Amino acid sequence: MNSTIREITHPLKGLHLKNGTYLSMESPLVMGIINITSDSFYDGGRYNTSQAAIERSEQLIAEGADIVDLGAASTRPGAEDIGSGEELKRILPVLDYLLKYHPHVPVSIDTYYSVVAKETIDRGASIVNDVSGGSMDKEMYKTVAALKVPYILMHMQGTPKTMQADPHYINVVEEVYEYFSERIPQLQVAGVEQIIIDPGFGFGKTVEHNYTLLRHLDRFKSLGLPIMAGLSRKSMINKVLKTKPENALTGTISLNTLALLQGANILRVHDVKEARQVIKLVEQYLPPKSIAR
């Protein structure tokens, strides 16, 4: 491990949220995805109105989502940046609804804008999920530190617009590991105390890169931080099985199972019910206390 990373003597086993609640990770968590967009790769356009997104959030919560992840800007390959103002315009009505009617369900905000992070966290959201790892807004680390909330640090090569143009690595596992080894101390120095890492499946990676990362996901456990796996209905499934995102549930279940066996602590998914079932079966299969440790 990079010697500049502060020693983590007590790895995170849960998240302390701003509303005073504690979200345990003794068992893996399920993060349900709500894309309030017109062009996300799987569900773009289905939930691009506040009412549709609210109805979807009710479904995810009923199915057992531990966290609801709100995103208003597509991060599919080639996606254009819509700007922080438009993000907030789309997110806030749905966030306000969740805070009013489901105040005990943590809301994660999927954004790379520090201004969006601040506005939504000040309003009552609980977690910042940044696909850029702070590279697209240099104020993000300082902002998250001041907000005192958990931060999801994801690896992405390039930007959503360019990331799939020509992904290249000499050793994808070690290069992603080194990325975390560099960024984690920066977050710690800034004052961010709760960090979750996400290797960024599909974000600047080929199919081969993705499966290599999945095969070696347990490599990142040595960093002493929770791992989130976002595999749901992605092209790494569809390119192998010759399916489309809408037909990729079986593939998603399969890869989520593998991620859990490799130590994933959070599954970020479109299909919450099925993810909960996967967790229950994997926990039944594994010896006690061996999952997500």
Catalogue the active-site residues: 234, 268
Taking a C-beta distance cutoff of 8 angstroms, is the pair 152, 196 a contact? yes
Which amino acid is it at 33? I
- Asked if 261 and 292 touch (Cβ cutoff 8 Å), the reply is no
Through-space distance between the first and last CA atoms of the chain, rounded to whole angstroms: 18
Task: Kindly report each contact of residues 101-107 with a partner whose C-beta sits within 8 Å and lies 24 or more positions away, as own/partner.
Answer: 102/57, 102/61, 102/68, 103/19, 104/21, 105/61, 105/65, 105/66, 105/67, 105/68, 106/15, 106/17, 106/21, 106/23, 106/66, 106/67, 106/68, 107/67, 107/68, 107/69, 107/70
* Helix intervals (H) in the chain: 50-62, 84-101, 114-123, 140-147, 172-190, 207-215, 235-241, 249-261, 272-285
Cα(115)–Cα(126) distance, integer angstroms? 15
DSSP state of 291: T
